[in-house]
Amino acid sequence: MDALSAGPKGVVLTERQRIAWLRLIRSDNIGPATFRDLINHFGSAEAALAALPELSARGGATRAIRIASEADAHRELEAARRFGARFVGIGEPDYPQALKQIGGAPPLLAVKGALAAAKRPAVGIVGSRNASIAGAKFAAMVARDCGRAGYTVVSGLARGIDTSAHRASLDTGTIAALAGGLDQPYPPENIGLLEEITGGNGLAVSEMPFGWEPRARDFPRRNRLIAGIGLGLVVIEAAARSGSLITARLAGEFGRLVFAVPGSPLDPRCHGTNGLLKDGASIVTAPADVIEALAPLAQFDLFPSSMAEEPAPDGKAMSVPPGDSDRNRIIDALGPTPVEIDDVIRHTGLSASAVYLILLELDISGRLHRHQGGLVSLSD
């Protein structure tokens, strides 16, 4: 446990950088992957913001792109301060170390509570909202023992298994990942639990703006945070089609250990977990199964610090923008089927810098769709 609990290092953003980062991630058509590519290409969020209108126009946008203003950013920062929260940038010391290593990690997280919870190794625990008494009791056992072993427990504040996991780890430290803004927790009956978490040894995190009410499509984002923050994920009672299985799939894609608790084949709440076991998840019949499997990972610094400083432009930068013929060649090569960017480069014969810049143009204009694993396709 020593390496990860010793205290991660990083570089703190300046207030000017933080405002620019917040403006950029809150602008139209800018997701985490696009944010990263813009920073890499232009060297800073301020330079990227200045380039957005031209990039969008070259990509074929039919209307001007909405760019978050400085006033917008200041208002959100002030809302966070009033709420007792703040924004942490990727690479800063208080950003969860495991999360920053996943593809599409949020550039900024809104956080409230005990930041120490984000600096310890973590384990995710998720499962059925309609949990059985036995399932809820076992979730509490796993959370309590993992907490005593030095792990922060991360879950999604949902009813059932999530609630049991959070409550059992209030003393040792728990992280609640929210689908909406920090000031819009869901479900309403867990508002009191969230206050206990943030008022004690726990932490609430969200990548969504303040005031954002969670919608169905926002919960997979929340699941991504749970899967990315933990070294492993424990699934307890999950139906065949459930958000917990989405979290498990993401955890597997991120290279995390996936654990599942077996259940009765006659209980629909266990169909998903039993399916995970068939697909190779590690079986859990006691909290020690999780602690022993995670121990080797927690002994080493698997996630070396990355810098929050904005880099100098890399080799992708171009002094002269690509021409229409190059742009059309890439558009003709793309379609609704996701493809790897390296395949686009090979197929078109264009330089990597030209391909990356044209894809950025299409992305910012709303014509490109990014998929898990770095794949891209043309939007419908």
> Given a cut of 60, is residue 179 above it in pLDDT?
yes
* pTM of the shown model: 0.90
- For 171, half-sphere exposure in the C-beta direction (CA atoms, 13 angstrom radius) is 7
pLDDT at residue 379, rounded to an integer: 82
Tell me the pLDDT tens digit for each residue of 222-240: 999 999 999 999 999 999 9
Tell me the pLDDT tens digit for each residue of 264-296: 999 999 999 999 999 999 999 999 999 999 999
Asked whether 56 and 364 are in contact (CB, 8 A), the reply is: yes
Q: CA 126, CA 246: separation in Å to the nearest integer?
A: 11
Element (DSSP H or E) covering residue 71: helix 70-83
Architecture of the CATH domain 98-299: 3-Layer(aba) Sandwich (3.40)
Tell me the pLDDT tens digit for each residue of 322-350: 888 999 999 999 999 999 999 999 999 99
Residue 294: CB atoms within 10 Å: 24
Report the first-to-last Cα separation within the chain, whole angstroms. Answer: 47
Q: Where are the domains of the chain?
A: 15-85, 98-299, 324-378
Element (DSSP H or E) covering residue 125: strand 122-127
Please tell me whether residue 370 adopts helix, strand or coil conformation: strand
Residues ≥6 apart with Cβ < 8 Å to 251? 124, 227, 230, 232, 233, 257, 258
> Given a cut of 60, is residue 309 above it in pLDDT?
no
The Cα-based distances of 325 to 26, 307, 317, 348 in angstroms read 32, 38, 19, 11
Q: CA 154, CA 204: separation in Å to the nearest integer?
A: 10
> Given a cut of 70, is residue 6 above it in pLDDT?
no
pLDDT at residue 314, rounded to an integer: 47
Asked whether 86 and 41 are in contact (CB, 8 A), the reply is: no
Nearest alpha carbon to residue 339 among 380, 367, 369, 363: 369
Confidence tier at 7 by pLDDT (50, 70, 90): very low
Angle between helices 32-42 and 352-364 (to 10 degrees): 130
Confidence tier at 304 by pLDDT (50, 70, 90): low
Task: Please tell me the CATH code under which domain 324-378 is placed.
Answer: 1.10.10.10
Task: Over range 213-222, report the average pLDDT.
Answer: 95
Task: Over range 61-70, report the average pLDDT.
Answer: 94
As given in the structure block, the two tokens for residue 143 are: 């959370």
Residue type, 139: A
pLDDT at residue 321, rounded to an integer: 77
Task: Over range 160-183, report the average pLDDT.
Answer: 98
2 versus 149: which is more confidently predicted?
149
> Given a cut of 60, is residue 15 above it in pLDDT?
yes
